[in-house]
Chains A and B, each alone.
Chain A
Amino acid sequence: DSGVTQTPKHLITATGQRVTLRCSPRSGDLSVYWYQQSLDQGLQFLIQYYNGEERAKGNILERFSAQQFPDLHSELNLSSLELGDSALYFCASSGRQSGSGNTIYFGEGSWLTVV
């Protein structure tokens, strides 16, 4: 158990809909990262937040947005969903210890299926 919690674990929704994925980082971690992994594909970095502020942005679609709340949990919002958005969405966190390099710890993912 990495200590990173993601909900829901599975989600099926229709095209055009909007969903919200939730992530609770490890206790004390300030950074949250979101990644997308489509079937048989690599991990695509979407966005990073650090202590509530957006810190880095990857290839995140304009239909997607995220935020990190004061209690450090994060949400990834996916709107106007398309079939191609079907994927595993991972949240990861880091920053509990200074000098810990770039060790990030992943949750088990939220599996989104768009039909």
Chain B
Amino acid sequence: LAKTTQPISMDSYEGQEVNITCSHNNIATNDYITWYQQFPSQGPRFIIQGYKTKVTNEVASLFIPADRKSSTLSLPRVSLSDTAVYYCLVGGAGGGNKLTFGTGTQLKVEL
């Protein structure tokens, strides 16, 4: 299982770009990298997923270097409502894997 390491917390201000990096040194060949957002007492919500290089959707970008040992979630122009815990999850498709979440990063956005 690929263990992930993220910063425990980050602070930002509204309108800034936030980059959260996740380390996953022992990522396997068939592992994907997925990021989730979780608000208090709610289920984690899928943000973005990638395998290599760069992926962008309407809410975020995901940068993955060639060695895939880390990934960076980029949130453009954050707002107060982006205050949440962000989890990086590394794992393969299908069954048989435990899809274990790390400790996550508590992002706090202020005015």
Chain A contacts of B45 at CB under 8 A? 2, 106
Name the distance in Å between B75's Cβ and chain A's nearest Cβ.
19
A45, A48, A106: which contacts B43 (Cβ < 8 A)? A106
A115 at the interface (CB under 8 A from B): no
Assembled-state Cα–Cα distance A79/B102 (Å): 27
**Known A99-B93, A101-B34; contact A48-B99, beta-carbon cutoff 8 A:** yes
Q: How many residues of B contact A (CB 8 A)?
A: 29
Are A56 and B97 touching (Cβ within 8 A)?
Answer: yes
Are A102 and B93 touching (Cβ within 8 A)?
Answer: yes
Name the distance in Å between B32's Cβ and chain A's nearest Cβ.
3
Are B99 and A50 touching (Cβ within 8 A)?
Answer: no
Chain A 79-115 near chain B by CB (<8 Å), digits 1 or 0: 0000000001010100100111111111111010000
